[in-house]
Structure 1
């Protein structure tokens, strides 16, 4: 990397984005203002003859005025239930309680260290990118542990530390939605999608595993793309050499940590055996007996994915903690669960206001009216299916530059786009998949992303003058490559008509 950083058009553009983004209120405040706007809009819409025919029943749908006496009473009486009944809230809390035990015990950190420490030098980069992608199942652990760890690892290997930070950041943030396993983001987004889908179909359910097949295939694709960009593009700006102060090294796993991993492995084997016994036999407790359709037969298992994440995280974390000596009593387990909850304080406040916005937006019937009218407008344009969905990916990627929170964006976009695409014949699952692709690829160049400042701090350890321009200039090749490669994979998937997850097709209504 050169000693001076030129201020080019990209830096100037990101400066504008940063200033514009800083002018936006806090996401919670934004949802409050949008809720007020929805109430006012419901009154305005009710003053005009705005109505559409329901796409399924044919009944006339008119806007509901929330500024009326009935509307205000409904707002007051529903304030608590809107919050407690918000679909993503319970699923995220339950999943994170279990994962919190695994993180607090040290299990997740030990797994990341053993992956990167045992990597052959020529496979160091892809393993770091892959570890970054997989770390997403445990929320922010990849940002706070793997990214700085990768910088130290590259120093020890005689390579530029910023190159290691970039590879890890690309996997953790640019590949945010890809994973071989389900994580906390899956039930969160599926809950929002389900709420939005029920604007059109009140009985529609979206499984947390709705995008599992696509995201599993995306994982090696993102790993390979990240490997290519790191070695063929970014490495030319950060050549190998001697870096650091000479005292930076990654500690090998201690004997107690190895013992903990052994215990965790035994617990994982036991849990996997129990799951197989519960799902493979026809009389298994987590499947419907005498049901010939395998996906319908496994409905109890698929509906219990969140519970499985909780039990797996807690069981494996406890086993590791007992073996490693980091868990000595039930108090340590509860502390781990509490620690994960403590990180969600701001999320709970955000969810409170988001839940009010979603509930009131649904009550007004404006979402259904906009969806019907928007669907008719899109039909008139006559865009083919794939270009239309790719356009939605690009729109999401652009919005992500100014609004970093995946859940906050989807809470805003889902009530409009999920019903709209449903009325065009596209399933909520395919709309959610397109959103996840667009939401991921520009994370690494968005100053609005919550960990962007942390990444700058990591870079400044090795490059004191590093700033927003440094991060963006380093990460733009990843962003562009991920956008193109992931969009092509999505287009191929849609063209072939493959299911996105168990029982999650591309069309609405579902066949059969």
Structure 2
């Protein structure tokens, strides 16, 4: 059953705009068909750009070697013999190497067991019965922000859980999905701890800084203080947007999905205890392999976040985080009798992913074609050159940099790929007028995060559409974009205001790191 809003008379101008975005977006074909159309459009545009001889010259950081290199990138046409051959020859590889595919399927093996045994449902009911309703939105958004410590796991674990949690509170599940998605993706750079993105961007910033000041070091904690403050800012804004804009616009949920709210039985209580104990033992085992300087899951150099088995294996670790407590719960609650039940739960979880697999195939081809043609890189370099040519300085320059970063993010999803192109331009340029590389990196991260949630080029966008269609089969790209636009705009505004306030107050960005060098 559809949950679309049809009465716009009571809406303000902004809500009417969102209704138009949703209506126009959903008038488009099915998301699968749309990605196919996008793919053909990229093929045609690439041919036109290549025929026009579109090229860009720039310097970039080679992420693999850390070296600065000069590069010339030209638009590559896919409407050639070589291009057409590649389209056919690499179609399967495009699909199997699509970043979210393995993440989603592996994580769902564990989540499927936890859901099949009843652990997820019992845990949600426990949460509903013990959490004040007024705090649940903030809890979902905050958990989404914190989830980026585990890289992309929040997309496949927390986003669907956000929908279930809201449904358990008899609230619209798509509002819960949006709140979680806003925290996970819109607040991707914020956190109370150092995450996987910090060393990645910091390494690129360091190499760019050394172009101006040889030997300059950028620590992984370079933006920590600002990102801690940002965590609370994003949580507050995300909560307000969900409760004051998104949820009222969605209205009352009239779909078929239900979440029962009833007391915890003796068997369920025993199962939750067993699940908690098993989870504790598993976490201790992981810590034993990570915390010691010679831990098994550390890198050969002893690092935890960079080149480590821990970070490379975060998805199976997440899967086991659900699988082990799920099995323990099932045994204690008597919903698991033998190993066949566990395998059946996994199989059932995989059977529900059919629609997503079709969508992922189409999306993977589109993303690959866009990368092959160099159109994203050309847009990024042109945008950076335009901003540099404006001659702006100070705060106007930095705000312009945030806006350009956000715009480019609509076309290039990878944070490191964009920063590898932009850092060699802006880090030395801003160092020359007294701004630290860490401050420039901070401005970039704001723009990079805030538009994640409104671009179909974001790798997990297709996943979010598939999750939403569980509650409203008519949900399309228009629904998701119109729902997330308020988060994107207000995150950008609020984060920029915090950025400007931080600038004028002269606060440190992280331990021993300041705005000016």
Q: Place the TM-score, normalised by the shorter chain, in its bin.
A: 0.5 to 0.7
Work out which of the residue numbers 146, 151, 170 in structure 1 matches 2:165.
146
The whole-number CA distance in structure 2 between the counterparts of 1:476 and 1:369 is 26
* 1:369 to 1:350, Cα distance in 2 relative to 1, 3 A: same
The whole-number CA distance in structure 2 between the counterparts of 1:442 and 1:35 is 15
Q: Which residue of 1 aligns with 2:219?
A: none
Superposed counterparts of 1:213-292, under 5 Å? 220-224=232-236, 250-288=261-299, 291=302
* 1:216 to 1:312, Cα distance in 2 relative to 1, 3 A: farther
Work out which of the residue numbers 40, 46, 50 in structure 2 matches 1:46.
50
* 1:87 to 1:429, Cα distance in 2 relative to 1, 3 A: farther
Q: Which residue of 1 aligns with 2:353?
A: 344
Deviation at 1:438, TM superposition (A): 3.9
- Contact in 2 for aligned 1:126/1:223 (Cα 8 Å): no
Deviation at 1:49, TM superposition (A): 3.2
Deviation at 1:255, TM superposition (A): 1.0
Superposed counterparts of 1:67-216, under 5 Å? 67-119=79-131, 123-131=132-140, 133-134=142-143, 137=154, 138-142=157-161, 144-151=163-170, 171-172=179-180, 174-177=182-185
- Contact in 2 for aligned 1:179/1:218 (Cα 8 Å): no
Number of positions where the alignment pairs a residue of Structure 1 with one of Structure 2? 423
Deviation at 1:375, TM superposition (A): 2.1
Q: TM-score, normalised by structure 2?
A: 0.64
Q: Which residue of 2 aligns with 1:381?
A: 390
The whole-number CA distance in structure 2 between the counterparts of 1:267 and 1:366 is 49
- Contact in 1 for aligned 2:271/2:331 (Cα 8 Å): yes
Which piece of structure 1 moves more, 423-432 or 102-111? 423-432
Q: Which residue of 2 aligns with 1:437?
A: 450
Q: Which residue of 1 aligns with 2:3?
A: none
* 1:169 to 1:32, Cα distance in 2 relative to 1, 3 A: closer
* 1:13 and 2:17 are equivalent in the alignment: yes
Stretches of structure 2 that go unaligned for 5 or more consecutive residues are 1-7, 61-68, 148-153, 209-222, 249-258, 428-439, 457-463, 474-478
- Contact in 2 for aligned 1:179/1:219 (Cα 8 Å): no
Deviation at 1:110, TM superposition (A): 2.1
Q: TM-score, normalised by structure 1?
A: 0.65
Deviation at 1:109, TM superposition (A): 2.5
- Contact in 2 for aligned 1:102/1:317 (Cα 8 Å): yes
The whole-number CA distance in structure 2 between the counterparts of 1:23 and 1:17 is 10
Which piece of structure 1 moves more, 133-142 or 106-115? 133-142
* 1:329 and 2:338 are equivalent in the alignment: yes
The whole-number CA distance in structure 2 between the counterparts of 1:395 and 1:371 is 9
- Contact in 1 for aligned 2:174/2:468 (Cα 8 Å): no
The whole-number CA distance in structure 1 between the counterparts of 2:298 and 2:375 is 39
Stretches of structure 1 that go unaligned for 5 or more consecutive residues are 152-161, 202-210, 238-247, 400-408, 458-467, 500-504, 506-512
* 1:455 to 1:312, Cα distance in 2 relative to 1, 3 A: closer
Partner SS, residue 250 of structure 1: coil
Deviations 1:344-403 (A, max 9, x none): 32322222122222222232333333333332112213455641354258769xx9xxxx
- Contact in 2 for aligned 1:171/1:222 (Cα 8 Å): no
Partner SS, residue 295 of structure 2: coil
